[in-house]
A and B are shown apart, each in its own frame.
Chain A
């Protein structure tokens, strides 16, 4: 990073924030409109094109430089900083475009005086509304930055997407980034600085057509996948380093009286230690092999994604300054590790954090609910962090 003069102290920057929050009231409607329009465009993982096109149009309307859609259908645009072009830093702000909801579901959003309600509103309509509103917002509240802002709507983030959009962008991007901000809609006060080790997988149970259903020990796929769950839960995990197995979903069967021939169990192993993730994965693989030999059905483990643990320290200037900004806005701090976009930044060696924008409830349901009242606080927090990075307060 190039050294720059510091036109104001961090303390004076912090003092500006409550007043900034009040000014943001005037642009909140534009934010809400973007939130509604983006959330109403279906964007299941691998089907984000329509939403990406809309975001790209918003970037173009805002006059972003080099707005483009890449091979992964990521949308990127540059909000140019006001500093000397040769010395400008680049700050990468990313929000994922995809949601957990199929395009066939009703994506209508409802707006009440206190909440915005609908599928994907929190995860991650809010993050995308930040990207699409940020250029107008910076201009309207007169919040000048020397650095360029690289605004990125990333595809293929969730589930099987495995962060492929952001991975592709970081691999091919030629602009060096001094810092990264991942925007996840909720919760306000969230500050993720570490990525835990993770293995995301599915266990597929397939009972062959030739299976002997008359056998006394014949069991369908439901019983077999239940056995897998029982054995996985018996795998010993240490308290330190913190480790867990998350059982996400099971799909199987079609009726009351027919044994299922197919079952899928989706899960994640998470740990602060990569060794424990690897050992647990080996245990799960053994369970699959053992059950296959016992049952004559096929029990197969498919690994969908892996993450290595890492991150920046709690004492890193980026984290310290962010905490200071949150305190200035009376935002209660919650630090949780992340397995999302943040881990890509960690792999790429870019100091980064994940921030939330507002409060929310009923996450991952069709009635996800985002609080309107806290949005200006979340946006003031974001602008504060951007200014802190821009002025060089977050450099080591």
Chain B
């Protein structure tokens, strides 16, 4: 299954070069497509993203119906810059205020489902230095062309030296030493998703609204596991978007990310009854640093709280007449 899926559902963005054709097919199916850019202090990169996507994918080729920034409360000028280039800008805490506000990117992605009108929602991170229209059309196209595909994930070349035409699969550090081993152990078909943690993906609303959303590090892992449980591997596709240039995170941050992902992962295994008697997992991540020969114990609380499926939220059903 994995081999045949890799052949049939893995793309390179260049096969979708004819954007006008994607637009024609989108219009024929009367689809609407929304772009969600979650932000927190991204004033340096957000302007370019909005300019490129708006000019290329709204004005030149009417692929996108709306471009929206969902901000977690930036202290810099992210919201002002995005608005000045014509994006719809939302402060995450202003959406569904009765449900309160949680910290984390997953919160923005979840609230976007309530706010945006697209049949397809494409998520693109705001910190990409080499942003290009392919980051959107490369992800949207498999959904437009193939009705059975529900969730399209990005992956990237990593500029590593390789020989004999064989190259590493291209995941990041957390992917290669945590997520892929976990998938290989418990859900081996998902190991074929080359970059399960990439922040760029496009999803049909009918799928998104039925997913619960961890608000923190586990959101991408949870999506993959839940969509796989509900629809199987055939619902996924993945697109090679060439390189993605961004700032690398320090190892300590990756450790905290891994902690959050594991909590989400094991919670789901228990929910699927793949493991039993897991017990209560700790919420404290313990890290250590040495300063002047003294070993300091650093404690970080990582809750990985989850938002319910949007379809279970009354305001959502009312707004979209569900």
B130 adjacent to chain A (CB < 8 Å): yes
Interchain CB contact under 8 A, B51 and A33: yes
A271 to B84, CA, bound (A): 47
Interface centre among B54, B55, B130 (most CB of A within 10 A): B55
Which residues of B are found within 8 Å of A30, using beta-carbon distances? 55, 59-60
A56 to B60, CA, bound (A): 16
A126 to B80, CA, bound (A): 25
A75 to B43, CA, bound (A): 36
B47 adjacent to chain A (CB < 8 Å): yes
Interchain CB contact under 8 A, A32 and B44: no
Which residues of B are found within 8 Å of A110, using beta-carbon distances? 44-45, 47-48
A33 to B51, CA, bound (A): 6
With contact pairs A29-B54, A29-B86, A30-B59 given, residues A109 and B48 touching in the complex (Cβ less than 8 Å): yes
Interchain CB contact under 8 A, A37 and B52: yes
With contact pairs A29-B86, A113-B81 given, residues A108 and B130 touching in the complex (Cβ less than 8 Å): yes
A359 to B59, CA, bound (A): 26
B35 CB to nearest chain A CB (Å): 15
Nearest residue, chain A, Cβ from B58: A29
A62 CB to nearest chain B CB (Å): 10
A49 adjacent to chain B (CB < 8 Å): no
Nearest residue, chain B, Cβ from A40: B130
Interchain CB contact under 8 A, B81 and A112: yes
B177 adjacent to chain A (CB < 8 Å): no
Interchain CB contact under 8 A, B245 and A29: no
A191 adjacent to chain B (CB < 8 Å): no
B272 adjacent to chain A (CB < 8 Å): no
A303 adjacent to chain B (CB < 8 Å): no
A235 adjacent to chain B (CB < 8 Å): no
Residues 86-126 of B at the A interface (beta carbon under 8 Å): 86
Instruction: Classify chain A: how many residues form its interface, as a range.
Output: 10 to 19
Residues 31-57 of A at the B interface (beta carbon under 8 Å): 32-34, 36-37, 40
A28 CB to nearest chain B CB (Å): 9
Interchain CB contact under 8 A, B129 and A29: no
Which residues of B are found within 8 Å of A34, using beta-carbon distances? 55
A111 adjacent to chain B (CB < 8 Å): yes
Interface centre among A110, A113, A136 (most CB of B within 10 A): A113
Nearest residue, chain A, Cβ from B48: A111
Interchain CB contact under 8 A, B55 and A32: yes
Residue among A61, A106, A113 making CB contact with B84, cutoff 8 Å:
A113
Nearest residue, chain A, Cβ from B86: A29
With contact pairs A29-B59, A113-B81 given, residues A108 and B47 touching in the complex (Cβ less than 8 Å): no
**A interface residue numbers (CB < 8 A to B):** 29-30, 32-34, 36-37, 40, 61, 106, 108-113, 136
In the A-B complex, list the 8 residue pairs whose CB atoms are closest, starting with the nearest. A33-B55, A111-B47, A111-B48, A29-B55, A108-B129, A30-B55, A113-B84, A32-B51
23 contacts between A and B (CB under 8 A): A29-B51, A29-B55, A29-B59, A29-B85, A29-B86, A30-B59, A30-B60, A32-B51, A36-B48, A36-B51, A36-B52, A37-B132, A40-B130, A108-B130, A109-B48, A110-B48, A111-B47, A111-B51, A112-B43, A113-B80, A113-B81, A113-B84, A136-B60
Known A29-B51, A110-B48; further 20 A-B contacts with Cβ < 8 A: A29-B55, A29-B86, A30-B60, A33-B51, A33-B54, A33-B55, A33-B56, A33-B60, A36-B51, A37-B52, A37-B132, A108-B130, A109-B48, A110-B45, A111-B47, A111-B85, A112-B43, A112-B47, A113-B47, A113-B81
